[in-house]
Amino acid sequence: MSAMNNINRKPTCLVLAALFALLIAGTCVSQQSYAAEAAASDTTTDATNNDSTSDGETLPKEDETAATPASMRVIPYPDANRHRSVLSYLSLYQRDNEAVMLVAGERSFYGLYLPERNGKAQGGILILHDIDQHGQWPTLITPLREQLPDYGWNTLAIEMPMTPNPAIPSRSEYSATSSETTAVVEDENSDAGASESPATSATDTTANPQIKPDPIDSAGISKSDELDTTPQDLAAENNAPLPRLERLPALPQSATPVEDDVTTEPSADDRYRQQVREQIQAGINFLNQRGQLNIVVIASGESAPWAADYVQQQQRDSNNAKGITLIMVDAREHRLSRIQLNQRLEGLDIPMLDLVTADNRETPFQLQQRAGAMAHKHMRKYQQIILPTSANNSDLATRRIRGWLKTHAAGTEISSR
């Protein structure tokens, strides 16, 4: 029986021994694979360290060091595209003869000209479109330009320059180095004062502990000093003679000497103001060259201040502005105008029409202020008309302007003989 038990136990022991051997072999294989992975990672780390510099900065690669060409930056210019589309529109409908090129200073610009068509010339009309518009704007500008020639008016709508963007304000630079240095110096001074004050007080008390220091007032003067100073000493100090001056001190010289030949570069705003005046003058000259001496300037929106500025300049230069009439449609201030519109209008002695439509952007109070300022100055030639909002603005505005021109600005044809 015991022999049978020994026979049964031997296979069991053999199986357990085999399983134990397999377990040991698997452990060894896993340890070998882990060691191989560790060696590979060390190799990669060494290669990376070799590519790096001693300062810890990675050396640039050949692709990165290659000079890349600077990308072209295109600045959008919507104003030029807008005016170019007008010329394309006229060319599409075979109306190229209406476009004329004008020159103002060093810049050329276009104008849209239509002669009168009824044989009874009344004069010339210069039309100034609003900001961000063009000479063929469908509301107000085009109806005026195309319909008034039927009533004896030669019309010229000119291109207005684009308003420059506001200048970016200068920004103060923060100096962290100077502020930190000042803070460190203040800390050192405070520490030095704190360390010296206990030592000084200890020295004074240890030298003679029975002597108490004199009290010091708010001005830093002790009572012993006050007792030592007599009124005679104070009077002598106050009446001490001043030292005699051998010569008068030299006058201070200016740090920046003034040079007569130095010229400052005009700003973008100044160039814009000058450009607007030149373009308006070029339009007036164009009409005068065609025999139109009775001139009417129709300005829309933010062009009104520049039209009033031109008329005011003409009135100041020639002491009168006869032959010029001003019509403003939905007039409002321009941010680059140095003088307010109401102040300019108060000094004009010409017929003026202030037409207000439904597209007006000013408040009723501003309109009332302008009309009141004209009445206060007894400007009898000024008239403000507010159109109803229910009617068609373009047709109604054109008819009101045409009727007002017939009454207040109609001209007569002068024979050239």
Q: Domains in the chain, start-ordered, CATH in brackets?
A: 78-162+267-409 (3.40.50.1820)
Radius of gyration of the chain (CA): 46
Strand-strand pairing, 123-128 and 107-114: unpaired
> Structure tokens of 197?
């004050």
Q: What angle do CA 110, 111, 113 make, to 5 degrees?
A: 150
Q: Which helix (H) or strand (E) holds 354?
A: strand 352-356
pLDDT tens readout for residues 319-366: 666 789 999 999 999 999 999 999 999 989 899 999 999 889 999 999
Sheet holding 153-158, edge to edge: 99-104, 107-114, 153-158, 123-128, 295-300, 324-329, 352-356, 382-386
CA–CA distance from 372 to each of 210, 299, 312, 394 (Å)?
89, 21, 20, 27
Tens of pLDDT, residue by residue over 5-58, are: 444 555 565 656 666 666 666 555 555 555 555 555 555 555 545 554 444 445
Rounded alpha-carbon distances, angstroms, from residue 313 to 116, 230, 302, 347: 28, 76, 18, 11
Give the separation between CA 263 and CA 271, rounded to whole angstroms. Answer: 15
Amino acid of residue 39:
A
Work out the end-to-end distance of the chain between its first and last CA atoms, rounded to an integer number of angstroms: 160
pLDDT at 36: 55
Which residues of the chain register pLDDT less than 50? 1-7, 48, 52-57, 59, 65, 199, 201-203, 205, 417
pLDDT of residue 56: 46
Question: Quick one: pLDDT at residue 54?
Answer: 47
Cα 256 → chain centroid: 30
How far is it, in rounded angstroms, from Cα 141 to Cα 82? 15
SS3 of residue 362 by DSSP: coil
What is the DSSP secondary-structure string of 381-404?
Answer: TEEEEE--SSS-HHHHHHHHHHHH
Question: What are 231's two structure tokens?
Answer: 């009124």
